[in-house]
Amino acid sequence: MSRAIFVYEPSLSGYTLSEGHPFKPVRLELTRSLLYDAELLTAEQEVLPQALDEGLLYSIHDSRYIEAVKAVSQGKRLAQAYTFGLGTADNPIFPAMHEAVSSVCAATVTAVELVASGQAQRAVNLAGGLHHALAAKASGFCIYNDLAVGIEHAVKRHGLRVAYLDLDAHHGDGVQWLFYERPEVMTISLHESGRYLFPGTGHTFELGKGAGRGTSVNVPLEPFTEDDSFLECFEAVVPAALAAFKPDLLVLQAGADMHRYDPLADLAISTGAMWQSYQRVSELADQYCQGRLVATGGGGYDPYRTVPRAWALLWAALSRQPAPELVPEAWRSRWQPISPDQLPTHFFDDVSAWPPIARRAEIASYNRAVAARVLQTLTPIWQSS
């Protein structure tokens, strides 16, 4: 079964944190309409999320935290909301937030279930990817960790070994800490170094603990890392980690904030390199997981110019279609009136037109040394386990 499924319902755009917040759910509609206009997605490939088994939510998150989210969600005032990370500038309280974030979790679990049960080979939930949420704390625009909930479903219900790959510009801290001592889940994160960017973690010495030692893999990259260096580090570390771990299922968090236009992070990746990395993820899923691959969205704060193209390319790679070249005119004219930036005419950025990055070679050589150190540290652990 090589079917690819796009998990979607309109209410997934209900994850609106607050007016003016950088996390803009309109990205979903922009992407989905681009997929239709570019003839990459058909109605037969779309599936509605199944209802969420709340027990799964409680297996990842602290019950006091879930009760707090439910309470503030209904408009109750809660003295300890702030200690749960709720009601901050990053994670404002909004009406029915429990229901909204539960439906994001439901969609990710549905994607995992479709793939784990063999009904599909690939499944995507672009509303998902809330990788910063912790067991008892909202963090970084994330309330519940849909990825961890989905991974737990794959482990508990299907007995699968899961490799989680996080390509968001920010470290995938929530997923890493939630599975830090678990040998059946490997987390791999390539991100802008925590020395410069939220959440400040994702260092090479975070390796996992106890039975999970060797199953946390971190590749912190320098600000202004460009395509070649990013792809070189990916190639140096990701295939080796998967070869050592031998997963049954690959879960990809495809945050689009690694792109050069992203206003919240400082990496300088183009849509061309993003496409190449998605292609490689698809190949690696074929090589190690019999093709089984679940992908979510994630960060991405350039919602008009960048995110729709990046995620359309993600879908094309996962559903084994060639990369489209031209952004359809119909799509550009529909969305240009609400976009603050000129919408691009091509899926792939013209990198040669971008101003050169100073210290390019120095950044690449620093990243190369980091990737080598990651392998030097982890290889003996992998070999002894």
Positions in the binding site for Zn ion (CB under 5 A): 168-170, 255, 257, 299
| Contact between 362 and 342 (Cβ < 8 Å) | no
The active-site residue, picked from 98, 131, 132, 171, is: 132
> From the CB of 210, what's the least distance to Zn ion, in Å?
28
| Helices 227-245 and 360-384: angle between axes, nearest 10 degrees | 0
Length of the chain counted residue by residue: 385
174 vs 299, which CB is nearer to Zn ion?
Answer: 299
Is 170 considered catalytic here? no
State the nearest-atom distance from the C-beta of 38 to Zn ion, in Å.
25
E-strand stretches of 154-193: 162-166, 185-192
Minimum Å gap between C-beta 301 and Zn ion is 8
CA distances from 264 to 78, 113, 195, 223, 245 (A): 30, 33, 15, 12, 32
The residue nearest Zn ion at its CB is 299
The distance of closest approach from Cβ of residue 169 to Zn ion in the complex, given in angstroms and rounded to an integer, is: 5
> What gap in Å lies between CA 242 and CA 260, rounded to an integer?
28
Closer to Zn ion by CB, 168 or 222: give it.
168
Decide if 166 contacts 190 (C-beta within 8 A): yes
Residues whose CB falls within 8 Å of the CB of residue 319, separated by 6 or more in sequence, listed in order: 4, 40, 45, 122
**Cis-peptide, bond into residue 49, ω within 30° of zero:** no
Shortest distance, position 30 Cβ to Zn ion, whole Å:
18
Give whichever of 299 and 303 is closer to Zn ion, judged by the CB atom.
Answer: 299
Q: Which is nearer to Zn ion, 45 or 225 (CB)?
A: 225
Report the residue number, 202 or 299, with the smaller CB distance to Zn ion.
Answer: 299
The amino acid that residue 227 corresponds to is D
Order the strands of the 4-7 sheet from edge to edge. Answer: 46-47, 4-7, 122-125, 293-296, 249-253, 162-166, 185-192, 216-221
Give the angle subtended at the CA of 270 by the CAs of 266 and 275, to the nearest 5°: 130
User: Judged by CB, which is closer to Zn ion: 150, or 299?
Assistant: 299
Strands 185-192 and 162-166: parallel
H-run or E-run covering 103:
helix 97-116
Residue with tokens 């030692």: 213
Residues 155 and 56: beta-carbon distance below 8 Å: no
352 is written with which tokens?
A: 């040669």
- Closest approach, Cβ 229 to Zn ion, in A, equals 19
* Residue pointed to by tokens 């292609």: 279
For Zn ion, the closer of residues 155 and 256 by Cβ is 256
Minimal distance, residue 277 CB to Zn ion, in Å: 15
8-state DSSP, 259? B
Residues designated catalytic:
132
